[in-house]
């Protein structure tokens, strides 16, 4: 544990990977739009190219070893000179004119080219601002601070406690931890002026959780239990309508409002990759979290076995975790597995939000007994618990009782029954304590008015007594101006192992999940076979004039179908995975880059296999051009990868699966409209032309059309559709595909894949959870 008196500024800084993503995107854009020497421009050169577009000095290096230097807007002239000298090929000029003007016929092209370049400078500046500085702008918006600065304290009063590695958590300051809190309140501001703000926690809440003890937070539904648990942990999700205040202490030291206590937080719903066994899940997490500390496999295996034994998971060690669709662990075992995962770095404090929800009484007792054993080892345990049995209730040491956001009791579990009796709310002998106290603090609604009034009065009495009682019981130092501690837990921002190991582990997990999901694989195979048979049964391509239209129709259907399947599949499945991955990224188990690459690579074999099945059926049945099957498989596979990346992008930026699914239809419709044959490039409105450049369907269709039509010859026999077309090249010219090459298609699809990954990476980074900072309680 390091300490320092410097206070962190707490502003978000654009991380180097994000800046690189921005630069790379602009470079790709530059390469796409102004490549003076196709194939000769390096990424470095295009990055410099972009710098030139920012009206700064730029040098362009080509493989021809020619060097040009020019200043800002002289670049247009330089390109003009180069073009005059024959250095600049004609297609760039055409592309520039088409992109910016919609035609390429003007003869005053030198001046126009200069204008076009100037516009590109403008577009590039906008793009650069959006790509590279958007994260900075976004995170600088009000409420985006993620660290110190909101507690109203002077500089120098805060001491940073920097925790660098998991071993440090166990030593020193965090070895044996008491967590205290007082005057905790939360108000939900209403946006409509005529409505009063809603009090969720009333500011009367105080208590402490001590090492070796278990604190239960109880209360009727909606009383604020989960909110309080998150508020103490520093985990309340950012919402500009929320105002949170209070004070928190660790071992009697005051914490800053933005400190997140280094604890294990086990949420109500924990999701795992369903096809991994208990042991595989723990192996994976132990290696990622503790790889740097536990260097040998024996050490890691020993920790995994220890966790399995402690959490009583021995019998199910080789059972898959499962989920609602796949049969696996029982609910209680899954809960204990989630505790085991959180115990890997041996945190001294464990917070749990309703660990027994959805479990039968036997399983609930097993989970709480497990927690009891951990408390007996010296851990500090705080758990929200809902209607516990008497046995489970008695396993806890302390109780914090809430009703309607107000404190009703804080103290020992063993004393609460007599405490309520002393207040005049005697419990009948046959009623359990937990049941009785919940009855005491629950408002009667919908019964007769008298019962409602009495329950209201009872809550008032208990609440006012609780404030007095707790003030006597829980007192923290009154000197609130003393130095505060600001916890910087670097163990939660740095993965425990290097990127190559992260990549290897993530690749293994993705592949395992994919290939063990036999039902999903079967569905994909059946889809491919049925589509192949349907298309093959309808189309039988000959060489007459009508076969030209048939070919274009079939290829278009193949591409639209492949786009639909790949994109929709990813959009449906990724949000579920994102829930797990976001948690793991937030816990900094690994970086986003290795995750994306591993995910994409793991899917390639299955994509290739499915396309091979489809190709093997459709090719002979539909009588597509012989000798082009290999290219066909490569192009459809690349297209599926691109469509999956696009789906990944939508899944990453969308806040939930509903939004992701709502985005799918407009995206696919736009793709189909701009697929290269539904609207002529010249007729596309200027502002929308970029869509056709990044159109998935367009590039996929172009690729298949080039592969199929090039080298084909058609008979002059009917039925006729317009003038006689003799060669495949003439047919391609109908849709403006003459002069295009398969290389350009592969290049464009690869750029789409890379851009989608990068944007998904940014999406995941930007949608990372932020938390509300606790301010000082009002005086
Ligand atoms: N961010 C928020 N925005 C709107 N309402 C909120 C927010 N956080 C909490 N609330 C409201 O505060 C109240 C308390 O919620 P909380 O989840 O803490 O209750 P609880 O006691 O844990 O309930 P349960 O036992 O049913 O889970 C609820 O009415 C909830 O709707």
ipTM for the complex shown:
0.97
Q: Quick one: 280 and 360 in the same domain?
A: no
Q: Quick one: 515 and 576 in the same domain?
A: yes
- SS3 state at 496: coil
Compute CA distances 629 → 264, 606, 616, whole Å.
54, 18, 8
Cβ–ligand 1 contact at 569 (below 6 Å): no
Mean pLDDT on 177-181? 89
Whether residue 139 is predicted with pLDDT greater than 90 in this model: the reply is no
At 116, the pLDDT band (50, 70, 90 cuts) reads: low
Higher pLDDT, 533 or 27: 533
Cβ–ligand 1 contact at 406 (below 6 Å): no
265: left (phi over 0), alpha (psi -120 to 50) or beta: beta
Most confident of 96-110, 137-151, 269-283: 269-283
Domain span at 560: 499-766
pLDDT tens digits for range 493-526: 566 677 888 888 999 888 888 888 788 888 889 9
Whether residue 148 is predicted with pLDDT greater than 90 in this model: the reply is no
**Nearest one of 306, 249, 662, 162 to 480, comparing CA atoms:** 249
Q: How many Å apart are CA 484 and CA 774, to the nearest integer? A: 13
At 151, the pLDDT band (50, 70, 90 cuts) reads: very low
Q: Are strands 214-218 and 380-384 parallel, antiparallel or unpaired?
A: parallel
User: Does some domain include residue 493?
Assistant: no
Q: How many Å apart are CA 104 and CA 92, to the nearest integer? A: 11
Of 105-109, 289-293, 546-550, the least confident: 105-109
Ligand 1 mean position to 226 CA, how many Å?
7
Q: Quick one: 242 and 384 in the same domain?
A: yes
The answer to whether 344 touches 290, Cβ cutoff 8 Å, is: yes
Whether residue 103 is predicted with pLDDT greater than 70 in this model: the reply is no
Mean pLDDT on 461-484? 77
Mean pLDDT on 713-719? 77
Whether residue 176 is predicted with pLDDT greater than 50 in this model: the reply is yes
User: Does some domain include residue 4?
Assistant: no
Q: How many Å apart are CA 185 and CA 330, to the nearest integer? A: 37
Ligand 1 mean position to 416 CA, how many Å?
25
Q: How many Å apart are CA 237 and CA 772, to the nearest integer? A: 6
- SS3 state at 775: strand
Of 74-83, 316-325, 522-531, the least confident: 74-83
Ligand 1 mean position to 229 CA, how many Å?
11
Mean pLDDT on 130-143? 44
What was the pLDDT predicted at 767? 65
pLDDT tens digits for range 607-654: 889 989 999 999 889 888 888 888 899 999 999 999 988 888 888 888
pLDDT tens digits for range 399-458: 999 999 999 999 999 999 889 888 888 877 777 888 889 988 888 877 677 778 888 888
Q: How far is CA 37 from its chain centroid?
A: 38
Q: Quick one: 704 and 751 in the same domain?
A: yes
What was the pLDDT predicted at 714? 83
Higher pLDDT, 678 or 379: 379
The answer to whether 344 touches 375, Cβ cutoff 8 Å, is: no
Per cent of the chain over pLDDT 70 is: 74
What was the pLDDT predicted at 492? 56
Q: Quick one: 198 and 310 in the same domain?
A: no
DSSP of 321-374: ---SSS--S-HHHHHHHHHHHHHTT--SEEEEE-TTTT--HHHHHHHHHHHHHH
Helices (H), 218-296: 225-233, 278-290
Structural domain total, the chain: 4
Cβ–ligand 1 contact at 75 (below 6 Å): no
User: Does some domain include residue 383?
Assistant: yes
Cβ–ligand 1 contact at 207 (below 6 Å): no
Q: How many Å apart are CA 724 and CA 735, to the nearest integer? A: 15
Atom 23, ligand 1: residue with shortest CA distance:
222
Of 241-250, 544-553, 574-583, the least confident: 574-583
The residue among 344, 362, 389 that closes a domain is 344
Higher pLDDT, 593 or 460: 460
- SS3 state at 54: coil
Q: Of 222, 401, 769, which is best to mutate to test ligand 1, by the most ligand atoms within 8 angstroms of its C-beta? A: 222
**Nearest one of 191, 197, 204, 207 to 245, comparing CA atoms:** 204
The residue among 296, 322, 344 that closes a domain is 344
The answer to whether 79 touches 37, Cβ cutoff 8 Å, is: no
Please give the number of the atom of ligand 1 that sits closest to the Cα of 242: 1
The answer to whether 700 touches 637, Cβ cutoff 8 Å, is: no
Q: Quick one: 340 and 351 in the same domain?
A: no
What was the pLDDT predicted at 723? 73
Cβ–ligand 1 contact at 224 (below 6 Å): yes
Q: Which residues contact 668 (CB under 8 A, 6 or more apart)?
A: 563, 564, 567
Atom 9, ligand 1: residue with shortest CA distance:
227
The answer to whether 211 touches 237, Cβ cutoff 8 Å, is: no
Give the global pTM: 0.66
Cβ–ligand 1 contact at 221 (below 6 Å): yes
Atom 30, ligand 1: residue with shortest CA distance:
222
User: Does some domain include residue 488?
Assistant: no
Q: What is the CATH number of the domain that holds 464?
A: 3.40.50.300
Q: Quick one: 442 and 293 in the same domain?
A: no
Ligand 1 mean position to 194 CA, how many Å?
22
Place of tokens 């705080």: 382
User: Does the bond joining 719 to the residue before it have cis omega, within 30 degrees of 0?
Assistant: yes
The residue among 473, 491, 507 that closes a domain is 473
Q: Of 185, 187, 226, which is best to mutate to test ligand 1, by the most ligand atoms within 8 angstroms of its C-beta? A: 226
Please give the number of the atom of ligand 1 that sits closest to the Cα of 224: 18
Q: Quick one: 421 and 453 in the same domain?
A: yes
End-to-end CA distance of the chain: 34
Place of tokens 């972009």: 50
Cβ–ligand 1 contact at 191 (below 6 Å): no
pLDDT tens digits for range 216-254: 999 998 899 999 999 999 888 888 889 999 989 888 888
What was the pLDDT predicted at 741? 87
Helices (H), 587-714: 592-622, 629-653, 657-673, 689-693, 696-709
Of 146-150, 213-217, 276-280, 366-370, the least confident: 146-150
180: enclosing H helix or E strand: strand 179-188
**Nearest one of 760, 683, 300 to 692, comparing CA atoms:** 683
What was the pLDDT predicted at 770? 77
User: Does some domain include residue 735?
Assistant: yes
Cβ–ligand 1 contact at 563 (below 6 Å): no
**Nearest one of 572, 565, 594 to 581, comparing CA atoms:** 594
Mean pLDDT on 156-165? 58
What was the pLDDT predicted at 141? 42
What was the pLDDT predicted at 118? 60
Cβ–ligand 1 contact at 222 (below 6 Å): yes
What was the pLDDT predicted at 244? 92
User: Does some domain include residue 574?
Assistant: yes
Of 128-137, 145-154, 209-218, 416-425, the least confident: 145-154
Q: Quick one: 684 and 555 in the same domain?
A: yes
At 156, the pLDDT band (50, 70, 90 cuts) reads: very low
251: left (phi over 0), alpha (psi -120 to 50) or beta: left
Q: Quick one: 562 and 674 in the same domain?
A: yes
Compute CA distances 144 → 148, 271, 324, 771, whole Å.
12, 28, 36, 9
Q: Quick one: 355 and 466 in the same domain?
A: yes
Q: Of 186, 187, 200, 400, which is best to mutate to test ligand 1, by the most ligand atoms within 8 angstroms of its C-beta? A: 200
Q: Quick one: 110 and 136 in the same domain?
A: yes
207: enclosing H helix or E strand: strand 198-209
Q: How many Å apart are CA 779 and CA 587, to the nearest integer? A: 36
pLDDT tens digits for range 37-69: 333 333 333 444 444 444 333 333 333 333 333
What was the pLDDT predicted at 283? 92
Higher pLDDT, 283 or 128: 283
What was the pLDDT predicted at 56? 39
Q: 192 phi and psi, to 5 degrees? A: -80, 130
Atom 16, ligand 1: residue with shortest CA distance:
224
Mean pLDDT on 365-380? 89
The burial of 346, by beta-carbon neighbours within 10 Å (0-12 exposed, 13-18 middle, 19 or more buried), is given as middle
User: Does some domain include residue 8?
Assistant: no
pLDDT tens digits for range 273-301: 888 899 999 999 888 888 777 878 888 89
Whether residue 764 is predicted with pLDDT greater than 60 in this model: the reply is yes
User: Does some domain include residue 152?
Assistant: no
The answer to whether 544 touches 628, Cβ cutoff 8 Å, is: no
Q: How many Å apart are CA 322 and CA 330, to the nearest integer? A: 9
What was the pLDDT predicted at 185? 93
Q: Are strands 398-403 and 214-218 parallel, antiparallel or unpaired?
A: parallel
Atom 26, ligand 1: residue with shortest CA distance:
221
Ligand 1 mean position to 634 CA, how many Å?
52
């Amino acid at each position: 544990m390091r300490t320092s008196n410097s206070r962190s500024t707490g502003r978000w800084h654009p991380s180097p990977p994000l800046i690189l993503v921005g630069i790379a995107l602009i470079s790709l854009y530059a390469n796409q739009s102004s490549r003076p020497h196709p194939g000769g421009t390096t990424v470095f050169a295009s990055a410099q190219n972009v710098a030139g577009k920012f009206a700064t000095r730029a040098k362009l290096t080509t493989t021809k070893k020619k060097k040009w230097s020019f200043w800002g807007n002289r670049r247009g002239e330089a390109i003009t000179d180069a073009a005059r000298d024959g250095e600049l090929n004609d297609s760039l000029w055409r592309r520039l004119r088409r992109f910016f003007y919609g035609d390429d016929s003007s003869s005053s092209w030198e001046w126009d080219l200069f204008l076009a370049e100037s516009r590109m400078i403008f577009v590039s500046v906008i793009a650069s601002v959006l790509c590279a500085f958007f994260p900075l702008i976004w995170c600088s918006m009000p409420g985006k601070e993620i660290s110190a600065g909101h507690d109203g304290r002077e500089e120098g009063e805060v001491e940073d406690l920097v925790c660098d590695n998991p071993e440090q958590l166990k030593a020193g300051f965090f070895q044996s931890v008491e967590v205290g809190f007082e005057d905790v309140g939360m108000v939900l501001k209403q946006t409509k002026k005529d409505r009063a703000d809603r009090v969720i926690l009333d500011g009367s809440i105080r208590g402490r959780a001590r090492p070796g003890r278990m604190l239960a937070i109880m209360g009727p539904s909606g009383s604020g239990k989960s909110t309080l648990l998150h508020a103490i942990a520093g985990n309340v999700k950012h919402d500009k309508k929320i105002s949170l205040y209070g004070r928190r202490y660790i071992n009697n030291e005051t914490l800053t409002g933005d400190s997140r206590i280094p604890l294990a937080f086990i949420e109500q719903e924990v999701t795992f990759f369903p096809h991994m066994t208990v042991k595989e899940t723990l192996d994976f997490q132990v290696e990622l979290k503790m790889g740097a500390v536990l260097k040998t496999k024996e050490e890691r295996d020993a920790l995994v076995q220890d966790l399995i034994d402690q959490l009583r998971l021995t019998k199910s060690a080789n059972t898959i975790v499962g989920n609602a669709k796949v049969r696996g662990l029982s609910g209680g075992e899954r809960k204990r597995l989630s505790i085991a995962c959180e115990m890997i770095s041996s945190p001294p404090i464990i917070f749990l939000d309703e660990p027994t929800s959805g479990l039968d009484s036997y399983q609930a007792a097993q989970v709480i007994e497990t927690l009891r054993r951990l408390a007996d080892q010296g851990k500090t345990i705080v758990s929200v618990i809902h209607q516990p049995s008497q046995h489970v209730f008695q396993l806890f040491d302390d109780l914090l009782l809430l009703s309607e956001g107000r404190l009703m009791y804080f103290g020992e579990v063993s004393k609460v029954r007599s405490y309520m009796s002393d207040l005049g709310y005697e419990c009948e002998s046959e009623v359990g304590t937990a049941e009785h106290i919940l009855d005491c603090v629950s408002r009667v609604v919908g019964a007769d008015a008298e019962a409602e009034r009495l329950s209201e009065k009872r809550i008032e009495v208990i609440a006012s007594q609780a404030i007095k009682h707790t003030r006597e019981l829980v007192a923290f130092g009154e000197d609130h101006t003393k130095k505060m501690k600001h916890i910087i837990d670097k163990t939660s921002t740095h993965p425990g192992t290097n990127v190559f190991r992260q990549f290897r582990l993530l690749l293994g997990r993705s592949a395992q999940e994919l290939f063990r999901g036999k039902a999903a694989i079967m569905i994909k195979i059946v889809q491919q076979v049925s589509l192949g048979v349907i298309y093959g049964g309808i189309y039988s391509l000959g060489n007459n004039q009508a076969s030209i239209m048939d070919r274009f129709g079939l290829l278009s259907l193949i591409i639209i179908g492949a786009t639909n399947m790949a994109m929709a599949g990813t959009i449906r499945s990724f949000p579920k995975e994102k829930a797990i991955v976001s948690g793991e990224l937030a816990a900094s188990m690994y970086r986003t880059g290795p995750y994306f690459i591993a995910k994409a690579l793991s899917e390639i074999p299955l994509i290739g296999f499915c396309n091979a099945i489809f190709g093997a059926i459709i090719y002979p049945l539909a009588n597509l051009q012989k000798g082009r099957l290999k290219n066909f498989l490569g192009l459809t596979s690349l297209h599926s990868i691109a469509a999956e990346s696009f789906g990944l992008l939508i899944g990453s930026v969308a806040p939930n699966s509903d939004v992701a699914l709502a985005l799918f239809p407009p995206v696919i419709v736009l793709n189909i409209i701009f697929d290269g044959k539904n609207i002529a490039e010249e007729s596309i409105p200027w502002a929308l032309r970029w869509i056709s450049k990044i159109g998935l369907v367009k590039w996929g269709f172009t690729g298949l059309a080039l592969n199929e039509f090039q080298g084909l010859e058609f008979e002059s026999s009917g039925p006729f559709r317009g003038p006689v077309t003799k060669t495949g090249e003439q047919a391609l010219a109908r849709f403006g595909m003459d002069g295009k090459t398969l290389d350009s298609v592969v290049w464009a699809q690869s750029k789409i894949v890379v851009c989608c990954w990068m944007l998904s990476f940014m999406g995941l980074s930007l949608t990372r959870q932020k938390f509300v900072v606790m301010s000082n309680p009002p005086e």
